[in-house]
Amino acid sequence: MNIGGFAKNSLIDFPETIACIVFTQGCNFFCPYCHNPDLVAGSSKGAGLSFDQRQVFDFLKKRQGLIEGVVITGGEPTLQKGLVPFCTAVKQMGYRIKLDTNGSRPDVLAQLLDKALLDFISMDIKTGLDRYSLVVSDTFDIQRIKKSVALVMKAGTDYEFRTTCTRPFVNPEILNDIGKLVSGARRYVLAKCSRNVAVLDPGFIKSDDHFFSDKEMKALKMSIDPYVQQTIVR
């Protein structure tokens, strides 16, 4: 595992679970509003810090009984060759695991689910399926996103789908299309994009045009509400 960051304690990143956070290095998407630019290969800042995996295991050994879970986020964790053995070892230590993913590697997601290694999945849906070229290369196989959505919804593991709401990635019509894709889903999170952090494309946050007001976020919620059991605006 190529680990670019580690947070010892979080009460907000894993529902009902006190967790630490492992940030993996590298991503195959290029979201201009990305809040972890140092973890995305090719960003202007290049690779971030590197943590030895053993440091994480040492920490987890010491904290057994004190924290309950591990959030694995990124970057995109499913790009990591060592993800399955890493999760296996973490699980053997008795921790719950939450995976944050952009859904681009359904093959890896399937392996993790087959081995019952995940307790919670948070999958980002970036935009409508016909607009993914805004964040990935034209050669990206969009069927992968569809496969990951189907895997997440069938798995029996707790989950949420999540979209960071900015233009041109989201509007009510796009969310209506996404709603059809995830119809029947348990929970959909619409995240308002913060402008007060470093992002992958600093020019992106300079323009007001990309951002939604609270009132507009409510309208976006109404577009996805009919398709899912619960919508949360954060």
Judge residue 39's burial from the number of C-beta atoms within 10 Å of its C-beta, 0-12 exposed, 13-18 middle, 19 or more buried: buried
We find the least distance from the C-beta atom of residue 65 to ligand SF4, in angstroms, to be 31
Rank residues 19 and 200 by Cβ distance to ligand SF4 and give the closer one. 200
Residues 6+ apart with CB under 8 A from 14: 69, 71, 96, 98, 120
We find the least distance from the C-beta atom of residue 132 to ligand SF4, in angstroms, to be 11
Rank residues 80 and 102 by Cβ distance to ligand SF4 and give the closer one. 102
We find the least distance from the C-beta atom of residue 151 to ligand SF4, in angstroms, to be 18
We find the least distance from the C-beta atom of residue 99 to ligand SF4, in angstroms, to be 13
Q: How many CB atoms lie within 10 A of CB 3?
A: 24
We find the least distance from the C-beta atom of residue 51 to ligand SF4, in angstroms, to be 17
Rank residues 67 and 80 by Cβ distance to ligand SF4 and give the closer one. 80
Using DSSP, state whether 162 is helix, strand or coil.
Answer: strand
DSSP 8-state class, residue 119: S
Contacts to ligand SF4 by CB under 6 A: 27, 29-31, 34, 36, 40, 74-76, 102, 200
**C-alpha to C-alpha distance for 144 and 105, rounded to whole angstroms:** 7
Residue found by looking up tokens 């940030």 in the block: 23
Rank residues 91 and 163 by Cβ distance to ligand SF4 and give the closer one. 163
Rank residues 30 and 57 by Cβ distance to ligand SF4 and give the closer one. 30
Residue in 78, 112, 110 with CA at minimum distance from that of residue 1? 78
